[in-house]
Structure 1
Amino acid sequence: MRKSYLKLFGLACMLTIVSCSLDDDRVNFQYTPLQITGASLPDTFELGRVYTVDVNILRPDDCTLLDQFDVRRSFTDTTQIRTISAVGIVLDKDECAALNDSLQDAFQFEVLYTKPYIFRFYTSDDSEGEPEFLEIEVPVKE
């Protein structure tokens, strides 16, 4: 009786392993930076307040979707620098229709320092592959 259970268990395990396929119909994707075409910031910040930063993003085709913002912090002696890029997901499809569609999204930003903030929004790469940025400086009033 025990041998029968072991044989059935072994058969069930083999069927489970054989039925799993890595070649399924899941959609694959890759991440890509998207072009930011504009941003809306106030003329000045107040220390301690939270602001909504509206961002315009170019969606090049219908296979590209906006996923999130990547915000990197750095600073100098006199300013706080935030480098922002829009991260897109590009679906691996055979055909993608060109759109050049403008999307609008936003993120929340809390003012924690009294030094001015410089926002560097990624716009594209130049002809030599170097990133280009739209820069906006916002002073802070206490």
Structure 2
Amino acid sequence: MKKSFFRFLFAAAVLLMNSCINDDAPNFHFVPLQIVSADLPEFFSLNQTYQIRVTYNKPDACTSFSGFDVTPKDVTIRNVVVIGTKRTDQETCDETQTEGVATFGFEVQHFQTYVFRFWQGENANGEQQYFEVEVPVI
């Protein structure tokens, strides 16, 4: 009797938990956000960490800042993309474009000029567009 009671409780708990799980598709996806400007120092010092401030465009109220994708393309070349999270479960979004500001930390590990390539979007041919900022290491 006791064994069947616990089996019943276990089955009821499993059914209850499964009823709370939403099997629908995710209600968001990640999108790159256009970078408008970036504040970098005039020079770096080796083995120091710097906070790099970036201003980006949010296309609507359903999109929020998620983080950065800083990808090394060579020893001292970095592609920087702001990543946003766009909600897909809202029927209406205020389509007003706004600017946001965020920072990321960067540690200087090489005694060479760094080139930061900040993502600005795609051109009419679908090619990625960047603006570049060079920062020497002294």
- Alignment TM class, shorter chain as reference: 0.7 to 0.9
Q: Please identify which structure carries the higher strand content.
A: 1
CA shift at 1:6, angstroms? 2.1
- AA partner of residue 67 (structure 2): Q
The aligned counterpart of 1:40 is: 39
- C-alpha distance in 2 between matches for 1:49 and 1:107: 14
**Cα deviation digits, residues 79-136 of structure 1 (max 9, x gap):** x101111111111222111121000111111211111110011111111222111111
The aligned counterpart of 2:106 is: 109
CA shift at 1:49, angstroms? 2.3
1:14-33 alignment to 2 at 5 Å?
Answer: 14-19=11-16, 20-21=18-19, 22-23=21-22, 28-33=27-32
The alignment-based identity, stated in percent, is 32
1:72 aligns with 2:71: yes
Q: RMSD value over aligned CA atoms?
A: 1.9
Q: Counterpart of 2:97 in 1: which secondary structure?
A: strand
The aligned counterpart of 2:79 is: 83
Flag structure 1 segments of 5+ consecutive residues without an equivalent: none
- C-alpha distance in 2 between matches for 1:44 and 1:103: 25
Q: Greater CA radius of gyration, 1 or 2? A: 1
- C-alpha distance in 1 between matches for 2:43 and 2:83: 27
Q: Counterpart of 1:10 in 2: which secondary structure?
A: helix
The aligned counterpart of 1:63 is: 62
- C-alpha distance in 1 between matches for 2:98 and 2:4: 59
- C-alpha distance in 1 between matches for 2:82 and 2:95: 19
**Cα deviation digits, residues 9-47 of structure 1 (max 9, x gap):** 22212212222223389x722111111111011222222
Flag structure 2 segments of 5+ consecutive residues without an equivalent: none
